[in-house]
């Protein structure tokens, strides 16, 4: 169980926390809270140097970095991976927050950003079109990086999927002008990216017909088979490999729910 919790923590820390930058870019009201900020907020699991990262505001612009920062303004410290996972999945968690008293205004200002990340949770189902579009973008960005992280963590299913695969591209996109992400797989190694991979045709390309179609599928309201029947989803390329990677996507969803 501790190893599973550590794997989940790596997915959330490296694939979910970076999406704070998307929230700041996409939500002007939220971005206005950080105008002029020059602050660093760190997250770390005690005694595990690989489970550490920090969010750095420079003149209100946000960047994500892996690893520890020497002098963060706030330092969220968790006793173990399970405690970090609890915070990120909407459960009760009480980390030690070093610097909270000295920088109370920073903590208060930062909390709306953490609340914004709860949009990733399955229980958060926005009704408005803008909210749906933001959730779709965040889920796609999360999934592509999480798949690569799962491979780095040597998950059995993901390693079996990637081990002997030649250089292939798995692409996801929302037509006509929505977000796109890809996963490059080559002989057991993976790399996630935003946008369209242009150097070769994708081996599998999952094309969602607009935000609504992507929203219905990515939030689990309909499965891929039903989505294809309704025209919400087109899978261009190998149906077998498309099914395999969809199964691993479902596994990630179950792990972090």
pLDDT over 70 for what percent of the chain? Answer: 99
Residue range 231-236: mean pLDDT, rounded:
94
Query: Using 50, 70 and 90 to split pLDDT, how confident is the model at 44?
Result: very high
pLDDT at 254: 86
Tell me the average pLDDT of the chain.
Answer: 94
Say whether pLDDT at 57 is over 90: yes
Q: How confident is the model at residue 94 (pLDDT cuts 50, 70, 90)?
A: confident
The sheet that has 52-58: what strands, in order across it? Answer: 61-66, 52-58, 40-45, 74-78, 96-98
pLDDT in tens, 151-196: 999 999 999 999 999 999 999 999 999 899 999 999 999 999 999 9
Q: Does domain 129-256 fall into CATH 3.30.1050.10? A: yes
Q: Return the domain boundaries, the chain.
A: 2-120, 129-256
pTM of structure: 0.93
Top-tier CATH class for 2-120: alpha beta
Output the pLDDT for position 90: 84
Q: What is the distance between the alpha carbons of residues 81 and 94, in angstroms, rounded to a whole number?
A: 13
**Same CATH fold, 129-256 and 2-120?**
yes
Which pLDDT score, from 0 to 100, does residue 1 have?
Answer: 55
């Amino acid at each position: 169980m501790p190893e599973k919790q550590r794997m989940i923590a790596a997915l959330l820390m490296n694939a979910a926390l970076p999406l704070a930058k998307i929230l700041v870019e996409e939500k002007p009201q939220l971005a206005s809270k950080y105008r002029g900020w020059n602050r660093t907020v760190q997250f770390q699991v005690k005694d595990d140097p690989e489970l550490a990262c920090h969010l750095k505001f420079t003149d209100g612009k946000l960047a994500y970095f892996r690893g520890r920062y020497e002098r963060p303004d706030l330092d969220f410290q968790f006793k173990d991976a399970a405690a970090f996972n609890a915070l990120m999945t909407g459960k009760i968690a009480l980390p030690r927050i070093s610097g909270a008293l000295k920088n109370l205004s920073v903590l208060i200002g930062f909390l709306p950003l953490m609340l914004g990340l709860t949009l990733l949770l399955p229980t958060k189902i926005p009704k408005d079109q803008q909210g749906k579009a933001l959730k779709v973008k965040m889920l796609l960005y999360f999934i592509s990086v999480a798949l690569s992280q799962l491979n780095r963590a040597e998950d059995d299913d993901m390693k079996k999927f990637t081990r002997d695969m030649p250089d292939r591209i798995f692409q996801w996109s929302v037509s006509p002008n929505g977000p796109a992400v890809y996963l490059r797989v080559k002989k057991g190694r993976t790399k996630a990216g935003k946008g369209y991979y242009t150097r070769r045709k994708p081996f599998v390309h999952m094309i969602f017909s607009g935000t609504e179609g992507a929203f219905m599928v990515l939030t689990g309201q309909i499965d891929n088979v039903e989505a294809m029947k309704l025209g919400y989803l087109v899978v261009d390329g190998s149906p077998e490999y498309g099914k395999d990677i969809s199964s691993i996507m479902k596994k990630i969803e179950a792990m972090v729910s």
